[in-house]
Amino acid sequence: MKKLISIIGTTGIGKTKLAIELAKHFGTEIISCDSRQFFREMKIGTATPSAEELAEVPHHFIGNLSVQDYYSIGQFEKDAIQKIENLFTRHDVVILVGGSMMYEKAVIEGLNELPEANEENQQKLETIFREEGIEALQKILENLDPEYFNIVDRDNPRRLFRAIDIIWQTGKTYTENISEQVKKRDFEVIRIGIEAPRETIYERINLRVDKMLEQGLAEEVKSLLPYRNLISLRTVGYTELFKYFDGEWMLDFAVEEIKKNSRRFAKRQLTWYRKETDIHWVNFENSVQESLSLLSNLNIKPKNQ
Instruction: Pick out the residues of the known binding site for ATP.
Output: 9-16
Q: Give the C-alpha separation, 189 to 18, whole Å.
A: 17
Give CA angle at 201 (197, 203), nearest 5°: 115
Closest residue by Cα to residue 154 from 167, 135, 172:
135
Strand order in the sheet with 3-8: 59-60, 30-32, 93-97, 3-8, 188-195, 279-283
Q: Residues with Cβ < 8 Å from 117, sequence gap 6 or more?
A: 161, 162, 165
Q: List binding-site positions.
A: 9-16
Q: Give the C-alpha separation, 300 to 99, whole Å.
A: 24
Q: Give the C-alpha separation, 95 to 97, whole Å.
A: 7
Q: Give the C-alpha separation, 180 to 109, whole Å.
A: 9
Q: Residues with Cβ < 8 Å from 82, sequence gap 6 or more?
A: none
Q: Give the C-alpha separation, 119 to 165, whole Å.
A: 9
Q: List binding-site positions for substrate.
A: 11-16
| Residue spans of beta strands (DSSP E) within 9-134 | 30-32, 59-60, 93-97
